[in-house]
Amino acid sequence: MNPNFRLIWENWLNKQTDETRLDVDFFAQLLLGVDVKIYPRMSYGACFLYRLGPLGYFNKDKLGLYFGFYWGKLLTESPAADIFELNQLKMVKLVRLDNKINDEDFQGKLLLLFDEALRIDDEKYQKKNKSI
């Protein structure tokens, strides 16, 4: 796990409330701990997580903090897809994170979706990265 995610995302995090920073710290550690190859990066003004390719990102809008699964459209049939927010985005699907630090059922579903996102990451990017 990359313990320096806070440094990489520092400018964005400094603009957030204490509550949002706490939520990001919790969920970033949770997701970064799934695979040692996952790393943080700022992309498109958002706090992204990458492994072979983009997995998703943390961001905040007027409704609160969320994690956007980059290939979320491919996750909508997953068993834990009921935690996705209904939205008009074609590819990215959002999961709201506010007030979920103590919700173990939600966290389990988030991890199931993240595991599936890692499988998709392998399918989409493994061949490309082997040729490099």
Cβ pair 32, 1 in contact under 8 A: yes
Which of the four pLDDT bands, split at 50, 70 and 90, describes residue 121? very high
Helical residues (DSSP H) of 1-132, grouped into ranges: 5-8, 10-14, 18-32, 104-130
**For residue 119, how far is the Cα from the chain centroid?**
14
Does residue 7 carry a pLDDT above 90?
Answer: no
- What is the mean predicted confidence (pLDDT) over 78-87? 92
58 and 27 Cβ atoms separated by less than 8 Å: yes
Question: Which of 4-8, 12-16, 93-97 is least confident?
Answer: 4-8
Residue 17 burial (10 A CB sphere; 0-12, 13-18, 19+): exposed
Q: What CA–CA distance (Å, rounded) separates 105 from 45?
A: 30
Q: Which two tokens stand for residue 129?
A: 């990265």
Quick one: pLDDT at residue 128?
64
**pTM for this structure?**
0.90
